[in-house]
Amino acid sequence: MKFKSILKVVLPIAIIGGGIVVGNVLGAMKPPPEEKERGPIGLAVLAEEATLANVSLSVEAQGAVRPKRQVQLSPQVSGRVKYVSPNLENGGFVKRGEVLIRLEDADYKLSAVRASSTVASARQALATVMAQAEVAKTELQELGIKNPSPLALREPQLAEARAALAAAEAQAEDAALQLQRTEVRAPFDGLVESKSVELGQFVSPGSPIGQVFAKDAVEIELAIPNEEMGDLGLPIAFNATKSTPGPKVSFSANIGGKPHNWVGTVTRTGASVDTRTRLVSIFSQVDDPFGEGADNGIPLAPGLFVDAVIEGRTLNNVIQTPRSALRGLDTVYVVNETEEEIIDRETRLENEKQDEIKKAREAAEKTEEELGYKIPKEAMDAKIESIEKKYEQIAEENKKSDAKTSDGTADKEPEETTEFVQTLEIRKVDVLRSTKDYVYISSGLSEGEKVIISPVQAAMTGMRVRTFDSNEAETDASPEDDVLALASDTASGAN
């Protein structure tokens, strides 16, 4: 009786437990929801082809315009100003030799007259002494004196008279020079930059009266990094000559809200490198900046700050790519394109069927190992049979679709057997020169190869990409692909 009571209690529990186990096993063997097969999506990137080019290098710099010749005018004598040239004003044009100021010269004229009188007296005294010396010489000869003394010949008196005449003449020249210096003249054709004298003002030697600069040429000092000297093909301490002229320089600046341009040449380079900035000075010159060198009448005036582009040497047969293609100092991302075979539909379905059968068997084995329950062979065979029937049904539907196409009821697209796959390659290159727009490469990259110019996050060799040309849209991309590509580009851009 006890055994029957126990059996009544245990048996329902065992049946319930067995049902739970079988349910779990069958649930594990149930095929997962069918997912649409999707190949790997490559990262959408912008790419451009590398081109072969002959490139003229240039170096950009900035500098201030200054006169090549500039002087501070001042008198050499003192006096009161009695005349000021009307051209001696800021911006006035003066010619070489033009009188700019004139001092009161009455005192200097009197000094010149006195000096002239002194010269006349000295000449008269010299003539008298010379006559006396001639008379003395004649008398000594008549007396028969063969070796008379210098004093008897009046030679000391004659030397003294000559010295007095020389001193008087020097004094006269000085007086004339002082009189001449009462006028301050322009040393060259130029323009007045400043004026600091007025009519009636008393000036002393060295007092500034104005500043004038020559208008025949202006000079611009440009400072460039030492490593860019090679782009210009110029050595340190270069001086231009007729046989080795300096490179051409283009200058630009905004005047009155409008851009203007001027052309000059390099005349010399600095003889040393600045120890603090590591820059080298390049001196350039623009001839006749107020005449033929002006831009439609706009001169290159001193004090103007200009941008300069110095023409450098030419690189022949180099690879040119956009500057955005360069990663770091010497790395680019190259797009490699390979052709891969596409698996046909029947093979793909067979592979999927075998994979699903394999997963069902693995689930049965896992159940036996973890729960100690062995799936009956009949249940396993039924499971495999259902999988096979499912794929047979898919195959039948594909055949019906093909039959409609062969009857002309539907358009049949030609089946492709291969596809082109694009992958990224990280490559080192030898960079000759890089600018803000382009990078020029001597080796490591060939003409026609595509380089990636858009940001790429966590790049690695072999990763799949899909290229967009900067001027064309990508082809053969589904809406879903575009959404994923956009997400990838957003992540890359954030990087």
Residue-wise pLDDT for 372-392, tens only, equals 778 888 888 888 888 888 888
Q: Is residue 481 part of a domain?
A: yes
CATH number of the domain within which 120 lies: 2.40.50.100
What does the DSSP assignment read for 192-222? EEEE---TT-EE-TT---EEEEESSEEEEEE
Query: Which of 196, 211, 226 is where one domain is finished?
Result: 211
List, for residues 76-107, the tens digit of each pLDDT value. Answer: 999 999 999 999 999 899 999 999 999 999 99
**Is residue 484 scored above 50 in pLDDT?**
no
Do 123 and 204 have their domain in common?
yes
Residues 428, 471 contacting (CB under 8 angstroms): no
323 closest CA partner among 45, 43, 48, 54: 48
Alpha carbons 119 and 123: distance in angstroms, whole number: 6
- Confidence band for 251, pLDDT divided at 50, 70 and 90: very high
Alpha carbons 351 and 392: distance in angstroms, whole number: 13
Q: Which helix (H) or strand (E) holds 157?
A: helix 155-180
CATH number of the domain within which 280 lies: 2.40.30.170
**Which has the higher per-residue pLDDT, 486 or 413?**
413
Q: What is the pTM of this model?
A: 0.59
Q: Residue 485's pLDDT is what? A: 41
CATH number of the domain within which 488 lies: 2.40.420
Q: Residue 369's pLDDT is what? A: 81
Q: What is residue 337's DSSP assignment? A: E
Any bridge partners for residue 285, and if so which?
219, 265
Count other Cβ atoms within 10 Å, centred on residue 224.
21
Do 226 and 263 have their domain in common?
yes
Collapsed DSSP state (helix, strand, coil) of residue 223: strand
Do 204 and 253 have their domain in common?
no
Q: Provide mean pLDDT across the span 302-308.
A: 95
Alpha carbons 329 and 331: distance in angstroms, whole number: 6
- HEC secondary structure over 356-425: HHHHHHHHHHHHHHHHCCCCCHHHHHHHHHHHHHHHHHHHHHHHHHHHHHHCCCCCCCCCCCEEEEEEEE
Query: Which of 361, 378, 404 is where one domain is finished?
Result: 404
Q: Is residue 320 part of a domain?
A: no
Beta strand 248-255 with 305-322 is: antiparallel
**Is residue 174 scored above 90 in pLDDT?**
yes
Q: Is residue 321 part of a domain?
A: no
Q: Residue 357's pLDDT is what? A: 85
**Is residue 11 scored above 50 in pLDDT?**
no
Do 83 and 162 have their domain in common?
yes
Greatest mean pLDDT among 302-306, 403-407, 434-438: 302-306
Count other Cβ atoms within 10 Å, centred on residue 81.
20
Q: Which helix (H) or strand (E) holds 347?
A: helix 345-371
Q: Is residue 35 part of a domain?
A: no
Do 365 and 437 have their domain in common?
no
Q: Residue 489's pLDDT is what? A: 41
Collapsed DSSP state (helix, strand, coil) of residue 83: strand
Any bridge partners for residue 333, and if so which?
426
327 closest CA partner among 467, 445, 228, 427: 427
**Which has the higher per-residue pLDDT, 5 or 241?**
241
Query: Which of 211, 226, 243 is where one domain is finished?
Result: 211
Residues 189, 216 contacting (CB under 8 angstroms): yes
Do 20 and 116 have their domain in common?
no
Q: Which residues contact residue 65 at a Cβ distance below 8 angstroms, ignoring those fewer than 6 apart?
A: 218, 219, 220, 289, 300, 301, 302, 303, 304, 305, 306
Do 84 and 127 have their domain in common?
yes
Q: Is residue 473 part of a domain?
A: yes
**Phi and psi based region of residue 387 (left: phi greater than 0; alpha: psi -120 to 50; beta: remaining):** alpha
Count other Cβ atoms within 10 Å, centred on residue 297.
8
Residues 59, 229 contacting (CB under 8 angstroms): no
Any bridge partners for residue 84, and if so which?
101
Q: Is residue 390 part of a domain?
A: yes
Q: Residue 417's pLDDT is what? A: 57
List, for residues 382-434, the tens digit of each pLDDT value. Answer: 888 888 888 888 878 877 776 766 655 545 555 555 667 889 999 999 998 88
Do 252 and 142 have their domain in common?
no
Do 84 and 62 have their domain in common?
no
List, for residues 124-154, the tens digit of each pLDDT value. Answer: 998 998 888 888 888 778 777 878 888 877 8
Q: Which residues contact residue 2 at a Cβ distance below 8 angstroms, ignoring those fewer than 6 apart?
A: none
Domain enclosing residue 302, as ranges: 56-67+216-315
Beta strand 43-49 with 465-469 is: parallel
**Is residue 332 scored above 90 in pLDDT?**
yes
Do 196 and 88 have their domain in common?
yes
Q: Is residue 351 part of a domain?
A: yes
**Phi and psi based region of residue 282 (left: phi greater than 0; alpha: psi -120 to 50; beta: remaining):** beta
Alpha carbons 459 and 456: distance in angstroms, whole number: 6
Alpha carbons 402 and 386: distance in angstroms, whole number: 25
Rg (Cα) of the chain, in Å, rounded? Answer: 52
Task: Read off φ and ψ for residue 394, nearest 5 degrees.
Answer: -65, -40
**Is residue 21 scored above 60 in pLDDT?**
no
Q: Residue 77's pLDDT is what? A: 94
Q: Residue 34's pLDDT is what? A: 42
Do 187 and 308 have their domain in common?
no
Alpha carbons 407 and 274: distance in angstroms, whole number: 85
Collapsed DSSP state (helix, strand, coil) of residue 453: coil
**Is residue 47 scored above 70 in pLDDT?**
yes
Q: How many domains does the chain have?
A: 4
Do 486 and 348 have their domain in common?
no
Any bridge partners for residue 203, and if so which?
79
Alpha carbons 96 and 147: distance in angstroms, whole number: 62
Alpha carbons 45 and 32: distance in angstroms, whole number: 35
Q: Which residue has the tokens 């084995």?
A: 365
Cβ-count burial 89-108 (b if 16+ within 10 Å, e if not): eeebebeeeeebbbbebeeb
Q: Which residues contact residue 392 at a Cβ distance below 8 angstroms, ignoring those fewer than 6 apart?
A: none
Q: Is residue 259 part of a domain?
A: yes
